[in-house]
Structure 1
């Protein structure tokens, strides 16, 4: 049962990292290359869709990692799991304080109501997102390290 927890937590965090890497390095580049207001509309739709899914994914990943850290506190590899959990906490804090406020504004933007600085806000979200991707990638790496 403990092995299943380790694998489930690692796979869930790994998939989350994959989605976030895709957003950072694939989807946002595609959105920027779209003509006229299509990129704005794509970002708004992505913000609504992923804005509903990702909180559940982040908190579930954090919860599974916390259970793993607690249940395996006397096992070899407990240190990397605790460190991964701390990084996942940091990623949630970053999300709530930095990314969610911009996303909440951006998911309502249309060509008719967008603010004059919408591109600056989108670029700021992208920069914060790159940092968050680095944090969750490090957490995933620590979880994989704990497995081996």
Structure 2
């Protein structure tokens, strides 16, 4: 049972890392290359779509890692799992404090109501997102190492 939990948790966190990596290095570049109105509308739609799913994915991943850490407390690699959990917790805190406020504003913007500094706000979100992606990649790497 513990082995199944380890695999499922690693796959779920790995998929989350893949989505967030794709947003950072592929989707944002595509959206930023579009004309101004289309770019902003694309970012707003992405913010609404992923903003509805990602909280459950982040919290669910954190809970699964916590269960893995408790269930496998006396097994090899638990320190790696606990550290991965701490990094995932950091990513949740970063999201709530730094990224979600920008996302909540930007997902409601239209070409008619967006602020003059909308690009700067999205760029700030993007910079914090790069940091968050690095944190969750580190967490995923630790989970993979704990499996080995």
Q: Which residue of 1 aligns with 2:122?
A: 122
State TM-score, norm by structure 2: 0.99
Query: Is it true that 1:19 corresponds to 2:14 in the alignment?
Result: no
Q: CA deviation at 1:36?
A: 3.2
Aligned ranges for residues 1-148 of structure 1 at < 5 Å?
1-148=1-148
Divergent runs of 4+, >6 A: none
RMSD: 0.4
Where structure 1 has 5 or more consecutive residues not aligned to the other structure, the ranges are none
Q: Distance in 1 between matches of 2:77 and 2:43?
A: 40
State TM-score, norm by structure 1: 0.99
Where structure 2 has 5 or more consecutive residues not aligned to the other structure, the ranges are none
Q: CA deviation at 1:31?
A: 0.3
Count of matched residue pairs? 148
